[in-house]
Amino acid sequence: MKEKSFIKISSAIELIGLIAIFVIPVLFGIKSALSVSAIILLVTFSRSTPFSRNMLLGFHSFLTLVGGHMFGWQAGALVGILSTILIWRMSKILGGSYPLPMLTIYDSVYLTALGIFGAFIPVENFVLFGMIGIIVGKYIGGNIVKAFFSPEPLIKHIMLSFLNLSVNYFLLTSFAATVISVFG
């Protein structure tokens, strides 16, 4: 009983964090929104709720890109490292079938590179180049690694990829529109 109520509370906090990304910039500025949302989401992700399990797969790439774009390549690389730690945690929740060393090494390199890449993307092309970076790094490269090292069927990874790609597109589009409206 306590576990179910805890999951509901954690999921509600996480949804508030997602909404904050698009509401707070208008009221307090984009940097405040990213800071507040990132803290809320990192805390709730570490609690390992079912909502987190589904959203984390798509959301860590978005956070890394935004971290690099807003605060420079060092911040992007740092967010990439923190996201790698979250993926390592989530791999246990997803059944422990992911081979931790290989996947963690790949995601660490991918996310660090994505954070650095985010620092050099102009806001007008943020969605286009952000999606290209995510598709090449996470979905093509990640699925190749999983095909060789994961015992799970490749079709499962590909289906998750399409789901998470749509999440990434929504987040990147909303973020770019918010930045253009606030600073444009």
> Per residue in 52-111, pLDDT tens?
444 565 667 777 888 888 888 888 888 888 877 776 666 565 554 455 567 678 878 888
Q: How far is it, in rounded angstroms, from Cα 63 to Cα 175?
A: 11
Cβ atoms of 52 and 6 closer than 8 Å: no
Neighbours of 141 (CB within 10 A): 15
Determine the pLDDT at residue 146: 72
Instruction: Compute CA 47 distance to the chain's CA centroid, rounded to the nearest angstrom.
Output: 16
pLDDT digits (tens, 9 = 90+) for 94-128: 554 455 567 678 878 888 898 899 899 887 787 78
Angle, CA 59 vertex, CA 69 and CA 113 arms, to 5°: 45
* 3-state SS assignment for residue 32: helix
Determine the pLDDT at residue 4: 58
Cβ atoms of 60 and 21 closer than 8 Å: no
Domain chopping of the chain, boundaries:
55-183
Burial, 48: exposed, middle or buried (Cβ in 10 Å; 0-12, 13-18, 19+)? middle
Burial, 161: exposed, middle or buried (Cβ in 10 Å; 0-12, 13-18, 19+)? buried
Determine the pLDDT at residue 116: 92
